Structure 1
Amino acid sequence: MMLPWKQLLLMSSPECLDSGSFHGPRWRMEPGDLFIPVDSMEEEATLTCDAKGIPPPQYRWSLNGTLINLELDHRRRLSGGNLIIRSLDRYQDGGRYQCTAYNTIGAVLSRRASLQFAYLDHFKLHTRSAVSVREGQGVVLLCGTPTSSGDLSYSWVFNEYPYFVQQDNRRFVSQETGNLYIAKVEPSDVGNYTCVVMNSITKSKVHSSPTSLVLRKDGVMGEYEPKIEVNFPDTVPAAKGSVVTLECFALGNPVPEITWKRANGVPFPSKVKMKYSNAVLEIPSFQQDDTGGYECVAENKMGKNIATGRLAFHAKPQWIQTMRDTALAIEERLHWECRANGKPKPSYNWLKNGQVLITEERVYVDNGVLLISSLNLSDAGMYQCVAENKYGVIYFSTELMVLGMVAFIHFLNIV
């Protein structure tokens, strides 16, 4: 029966050829990112790590590039390859974790996984000054978001709970700033306003002190042209497949009308949605075709105001060319090449048993290419190609077996 080449050992003695099948670690489960609510800190956090290999792999972990000494760490322990952390501390335990699986054949690094803590502090307790405006004037009420970690959502209570400000063409709550914008104040707007902030991960809510909105008694504000108060940046980075939202809202009398255009005149695809009287433009499943300039126009009979910005596409690396496990004889030449797409274009590193390879003597490393001339037994082991840009990093693992002459001749005979 034809045997796979992996049943050949790294050594050349004939007796080794029948001692079994050995191979380096291969990932079955790599760690994933964790976002832990601070109010559940008594619970344990588990970062998964599981690899197959013969002999069975062992494991070690690093935090922010520094090896974790589990013998001296009473809060962290291994269960199989999983790292379990108890008595969580948001100041000591947050960061980037990486698992290494290793056996006698070699070692491989896992993807880097982040452990973050979600929290939402309370507003500082202080009395907020009243905001005085004329009828017909526009106004911005500031939320003043407390320190936090995790996605936030905003709403405003009018006078007392549960009466929330209803958004329309005249009133808008920005989910970027948390502020409340009223394009043109009417007498019915007079009252107390409280900003409510919710953390989508912890589900906790905090309330600001109320802000009083009062009308001045020195007359009504005359009509004036729009002034855009909510705008998007000149360049907005947008990930492939993500949901992109652009906000645009203007103060003005009469209340301005919001419209959107693409800078190149191309019509919006049917997937694009307009919300809150066109104050929000939403693009689901963002793709490279959606890149380019976007224009928000706020207009009333007194004039118009235009805001522009550009959506820039980015994508983390994805493999388009990888390597196969390889068996070569001593003094043969190895040529491996890996390629990934991504935006911006990825850069490459090569690892041998978890250590970075650099060009020296017989080894040549450049832009996804690995060349090793005149192989020797010490070149055997686990290799990884690493492709990285500012939005992500990916690893691909493969094994190199270097055979002595007896083993190589035997290999030729059985294949």
Structure 2
Amino acid sequence: MWLVTLLLLYSLQKVKSEDVISTRLYFVNASLQRVTFSSSVGVSLPCPAGGAPHAILRWYLAAGDDIYDVPHIRHVHSNGTLQLYPFSPSAYNSIIHDNEYFCTAENMAGKIRSPSIHIKAVFREPYTVRVADQRSMRGNVAVFKCLIPSAVQEYVSVVSWEKDTVSIVPGNRFFLTSYGALYISEVQKEDALSTYRCITKHKYSGETRQSNGARLSVMDPTESTPTVLDSFQSGEVQIGHSVELPCIASGYPNPTIRWLKDGRPLPADSRWTRRITGLTISDLRLEDSGNYICEVTNSFGSKEVTGRLNVIEPLRVTLSPKNLKTGISSTVILSCAVQGSPHYTVSWYRNTEPVLPDQHFSIQGAHNETLFISAAQKRHSGAYQCFATRKVQTAQDFSIILLEDGTPRIVSPFSERVVIPGEPFSLGCTAKGAPPPTITGLWMMNL
């Protein structure tokens, strides 16, 4: 019989081992950054973060203050859902009803925080919309605008127009712009016999309002220089969306309209459509950004309006390595790659606390996109997050870092065995270390 002994040697090469991190954290809806609700309805907001196994979910104000329950006003349920109940105007509190919140998820892997979420209550308040009387020359254009009070302008939109109490169907000589104006082309004398009203709807309360009836005065054509009746302003639109740049003018003879981008005529592109309401650009691209000029001209003169269109790309953040398990005293390098529109700022967090440079931490790169951890210690383990922010846009990604004593050690050894020559046998051995060690066998036979 043979007496077989297997001696183990270790190296620093990686082998198949247990998962880097046995627990995990995740986001359900990391893009949620604004919630507006009606004060008469209230809102329930699940925590956009979670974990497995079970994670502790907590809500905070953006300033870092803990959320506390306010009877019949605010409550955090055991499942991490934040609920703001319907309330009367007398119970309004800006700290509760118009503030920024964030939610955290925490388990053994670490602690992550959502981007700040602006939660705002909107009151059911009386308001009036109106339309002003207009004047136009026969054969020209007329523009009616629905005047909405600034206090509710953000939540109220035009849903239709009426002519003598009959809803206007766009087409023929009547056009509705994407932002709610009514254009009447080739104005005729009989247009002065009707009244025009706008109908609006509140986004959160669902209430509708009807304006007063406005009239149109129609005059005979008289020679005149162009007058711009409606125009566009500068703005930002996300890539892939559509935008309408309004531009319409009156005058006699009827003015012609020419569009320029950055001082040059518009390029031939099926995405660009000239309509009576203005210029519509669909499926926006980054290269569509620029200065747009609407030039209106007739034989008595010309006018122009200029606006800046910025096409922006949503921010996207990728943090690498995604998860890392290594030994103490190691150097850890985390790289935060940001895609999207420029002029963003980067900030770092560990377990939801800001990372501050010290003897172990340093933040480098043109945009602070690289985090170095030198001589990392066990206490530096946790969830690291990189946030990129540009105006109202925020994107983030996170990585779980686990630091431990990396000295290789045998977890499950084996003992000597006596076998018969030719008989198959197996020996099991489990080892741990950081980085995970390889296992090398050395045979020794005693005859």
**TM-score, with structure 2 as normaliser:** 0.73
Match of 2:148 in 1: 145
* Bigger radius of gyration among the two: 2
Q: Alpha-carbon deviations, 1:303-337, whole Å to 9, x = none? A: 44332333223223223563231222222222222
Match of 1:32 in 2: 32
Q: Supply the AA of the counterpart residue of 2:269.
A: P
Contact 1:136–1:222 (Cα < 8 Å) also in 2:
no
Match of 2:190 in 1: 188
Check 1:232–1:138 CA distance in 2 against 1; reply closer, same or farther (3 A cut).
same
2:146 partner SS: coil
Contact 2:129–2:209 (Cα < 8 Å) also in 1:
no
1:335 matches 2:333: yes
The offset of 1:375, in angstroms, is 1.6
Contact 2:178–2:244 (Cα < 8 Å) also in 1:
no
**TM-score, with structure 1 as normaliser:** 0.78
Q: Which has the higher contact order (CA 8 A, sep 6+)?
A: 2
1:110 matches 2:114: yes
Q: Alpha-carbon deviations, 1:30-67, whole Å to 9, x = none? A: 4735655638x33642334342234x210111244343
Match of 2:432 in 1: 410
1:294 counterpart (272, 292, 295):
292
The offset of 1:199, in angstroms, is 4.1
Contact 2:75–2:84 (Cα < 8 Å) also in 1:
yes
1:305 matches 2:303: yes
Contact 1:24–1:107 (Cα < 8 Å) also in 2:
no
The offset of 1:350, in angstroms, is 1.0
The offset of 1:353, in angstroms, is 0.4
Which segment drifts farther, 391-400 or 139-148?
139-148
Trace 1:253-402 onto structure 2 (pairs within 5 A): 253-262=252-261, 263-275=263-275, 277=276, 279-319=277-317, 322-366=320-364, 367-402=368-403
Match of 1:11 in 2: none
Q: Alpha-carbon deviations, 1:378-402, whole Å to 9, x = none? A: 1111111112222411111111111
User: How far apart, CA to CA, are the structure 2 residues paired with 1:136 and 1:400?
Assistant: 72
User: How far apart, CA to CA, are the structure 1 residues paired with 2:78 and 2:146?
Assistant: 45
Trace 1:155-194 onto structure 2 (pairs within 5 A): 155-158=160-163, 160-164=164-168, 175-176=178-179, 178=180, 180=182, 186-190=188-192, 191-194=194-197
Cα RMSD of the aligned pairs, angstroms, is: 3.6
Check 1:88–1:413 CA distance in 2 against 1; reply closer, same or farther (3 A cut).
farther
Match of 2:45 in 1: 46
Check 1:253–1:167 CA distance in 2 against 1; reply closer, same or farther (3 A cut).
farther
Which segment drifts farther, 349-358 or 256-265?
256-265
Identical residues among aligned pairs (%): 20
The number of equivalent residue pairs is 389
Match of 1:224 in 2: 224
Contact 1:44–1:85 (Cα < 8 Å) also in 2:
yes
2:432 partner SS: helix
The offset of 1:271, in angstroms, is 1.9
Contact 2:319–2:334 (Cα < 8 Å) also in 1:
no
User: How far apart, CA to CA, are the structure 2 residues paired with 1:346 and 1:223?
Assistant: 52
Q: Supply the AA of the counterpart residue of 2:83.
A: I
1:337 partner SS: strand
Q: Supply the AA of the counterpart residue of 1:377.
A: K
